[in-house]
Amino acid sequence: MTEEMAQARRLVAQAGRIVVLTGAGISAESGVPTFRGAGGLWKSHRPEELATPEAFARDPQTVWEWYSWRRGLIAECAPNHGHLALARLALGDTPTTIVTQNVDGLHTRAAHEAAGDTDPSPALPVEVHGAIDRDKCSLCAVRTPGATSVDTSSHASLPRCATCNGMLRPDVVWFGEALEPEILSRAFQVARDADLCLVVGTSALVQPAASVPLATLQSGGTLIEVNIELTPLSAEAEVSLLGPSGELLPELLDAGPAP
Ligand code: APR
């Protein structure tokens, strides 16, 4: 075991309350592509170009094509050892809240898998960017379960709201849109209350989520980062564990008493 891992395990063992912030990197080993870095582009589009209300107004077919492709891909994926280690942590004795920027639902599936016949709710994530498997009406905002495969063959075939006939869109937060105020304030509250923040697989570039760990730091807590590369948050972290989260999280969280 590396000295960094030993130190990180001591910090976890000593923590009274933990917040976890995850990003796309935690799902990379499940086969869900990240947004940035290697494999981060889809048909040479950047997420900042497609995941916007303007892109949807201009070209809903292309935006739906991207989301339909992602829904299909995610439906084939399963939680990995990183999701499961976090779910077991949150179901354990130290109060822990998982805050995720991911819309893929894999933390929720891990919570159910790890809980078995017991209550999964302590391990259910606060999803600050929404959920890709839900639709939201762009007119009346009603939310409904979304189809895994959307017919994007023409503008007329795109999904419509059963209540008001408005255009349905994925229930995710796009660039330029505000996050749900209650969800956001819950994320920052649990970050302030925590004395340890575990930041996993996020480039820490997209605000306001990237500031969640800073709330823990500002209230006197510490930060552990798990990522395959350094990020803008690394300088703030007490320990940076460099490597894939599917391997490092079980070693960090499951390996018995801290050294
Ligand atoms: N283990 C740990 N970290 C990994 C792994 C892995 N196996 N693979 C990749 N990473 C790291 C990358 O080094 C990078 O820092 O995951 C991070 C992924 O960064 P992004 O793709 O930018 O994802 P994220 O930070 O979640 O993006 C934030 O941007 O497009 C929006 O709304 C979208 O929620 C998303 C937000």
* Ligand 1 centroid distance, CA of 151 (Å): 28
Catalytic residue among 45, 83, 129, 155: 129
Two tokens, residue 14:
């000593």
Atom 36 (ligand 1) nearest CA = 206
Bond prior to 181 in cis (omega within 30° of 0): no
Indicate if 81 belongs to the active site: no
Give me 1's structure tokens: 């075991």
Q: How far is the CA of 105 from the centre of ligand 1 (A)?
A: 15
Distance 35 CA to ligand 1 centre (A): 6
pLDDT tens over the chain, length 259 residues: 899 999 999 999 999 999 999 999 999 999 999 988 777 777 778 888 899 999 999 999 999 999 999 999 999 999 999 999 999 999 999 999 999 999 999 999 999 999 999 999 999 999 999 999 999 999 999 999 999 999 999 999 999 999 999 999 999 999 999 999 999 999 999 999 999 999 999 999 999 999 999 999 999 999 999 999 999 999 999 999 999 999 999 999 996 655 5
Burial track 126-152 (b if 16+ CB lie within 10 A, e otherwise): bbbbbbbbbbbbbeeeeeeebeeebeb
Query: Strand 96-100 to strand 143-145: parallel, antiparallel, or no bridges (unpaired)?
Result: unpaired
Residue 22 CB–ligand 1 contact under 6 Å: no
Determine if ligand 1 sits within 6 Å of the CB of residue 129. Answer: yes
CA angle 106, 181, 214 (to 5 degrees): 75
Q: How far apart are CA 72 and CA 133, in angstroms?
A: 10
**pTM for the structure as a whole:** 0.95
CA distance 96 to 195: 10
Length of the chain: 259
How deeply is 228 buried, as exposed, middle or buried, from its count of CB atoms within 10 A (0-12, 13-18, 19+)?
middle
